[in-house]
Amino acid sequence: SLGNFGTSQGVGTDVHNLKPADGGLNSLRSNHEYDDLGSTGNAVNYNGSATGNTYNGSAGLFEPRDKVKGDLARIILYMDLRYEGAGAEPDLVVQEALNSGGTTHAVLSTLLDWHWADPVDSFELNRNNVIHTMQGNRNPFIDHPELVDYIYGDSTNVSWNPFMAVETAPARSHLHLGPNPADTFLNITAQATAPFTITNLSGEQLLEGTVNTGNNRIVVEMLPAGSYILQSGEFREQIIIAH
């Protein structure tokens, strides 16, 4: 949070940027920039999170525990995308260089690594749905993790179409799928034979099978309309069934 939480609509009350936290951990984090600390020798550890010095000798940095690194990265990238200085809103910027200014956040390359290393899970998807019900908007990097590469990564000069085949991370996935949203079937192109599962957001497995090398068609018309997770090895993608 930027610390100006209140009742007026705006950056300070954006629920996407607000998460409950242990008091001691919240105090430890303070307003430190995010980065990987590595073996700094002076890190203060707290439940898997730590503060310390790194990034060209810079002091006062914070590394969260692995389980929430992707969550935090997607929150910060959302804030950068959502708040561009319109009206009285601040222009929030994610950058590579560290800066103590209140509207800049770092380190971009680290946040991108965290995004890919800690994929979206069912808790994060459900949280996005609840916030959408309350606040009326969504974090697009939760619904479409591949968008990160189109905005911040190697595909910035490539047009993105959510209704065409997408992958979790360019050059990192063995599957391509589409259409998404789907109605009666999913087309899946696989680089190798692999098992897959489709679960609901509560983690209940509803469908399982195997995709073969090349093109596959998976029938999904029996699934009720809604959001699901298709997983095969390290590949993990939210799919939407819209009858």
> Which pLDDT tens digit goes with each residue over 202-217?
788 999 999 998 888 8
CA neighbours within 13 Å on the CB side: how many for 152?
A: 26
Where is average pLDDT lowest: 9-13, 18-22, 172-176, 178-182? 172-176
User: pLDDT tens, 74-102?
Assistant: 999 999 999 988 878 888 888 887 765 66
pTM of the predicted model as reported, rounded to 2 decimal places: 0.64
Under 8 Å between Cβ of 90 and 194: no
The pLDDT, as a whole number, for residue 140 is 92
CA distances from 124 to 77, 112, 127, 203 (A): 15, 17, 5, 12
Q: Could you tell me if 223 and 206 are in contact, meaning their C-beta atoms sit under 8 angstroms apart? A: yes
**Domains with residue ranges and CATH for the chain:** 11-117 (no CATH), 122-241 (2.60.40.3080)
CA-to-CA dists, residue 99 to 43, 48, 80, angstroms: 21, 25, 15
Beta strands (DSSP E) in the chain are 33-34, 44-46, 49-54, 58-63, 93-94, 104-105, 175-178, 185-190, 194-200, 205-211, 214-219, 226-232, 235-241
Q: Tokens 């009720």 identify what position?
A: 224
Amino acid 156: pLDDT? 79
Q: Is 222 helix (H, G, I), strand (E, B) or coil?
A: coil
Q: How many CB atoms lie within 10 A of CB 88?
A: 8
Taking phi over 0 as left and psi of -120 to 50 as alpha, with beta for the rest, 115 belongs to: alpha
Identify the CA nearest to 155 among candidates 143, 168, 146, 144.
Answer: 146
Nearest-angstrom CA–CA distance, 114 and 92 = 20
- How many CA atoms lie within 13 Å of 81's alpha carbon, on the beta-carbon side? 18
pLDDT of residue 19: 83
pLDDT over threshold 70, residue 225 = yes
Give the model confidence (pLDDT) of 131-180 as tens digits: 998 888 999 999 888 888 889 887 778 777 665 544 444 444 567 787 87
Q: How confident is the model at residue 172, as a pLDDT?
A: 44
Q: 26 vs 44, 62, 210, CA distance in Å?
A: 13, 11, 44
- 175-178 and 194-200 beta bridge pairing: unpaired
Contact 138, 153 (CB under 8 A): no
Of 104 and 77, the structure prediction assigns the larger pLDDT to 77
The pLDDT score that the predictor gives to residue 1 is: 40
The answer to whether the CB of 35 falls within 8 A of the CB of 61 is yes
Q: In a 3-state reduction of DSSP, which class is residue 44?
A: strand
Q: Kindly report, residue by residue over 175-197, the tens digit of the pLDDT.
A: 778 787 888 888 887 888 899 99
Is residue 47 over pLDDT 70? no
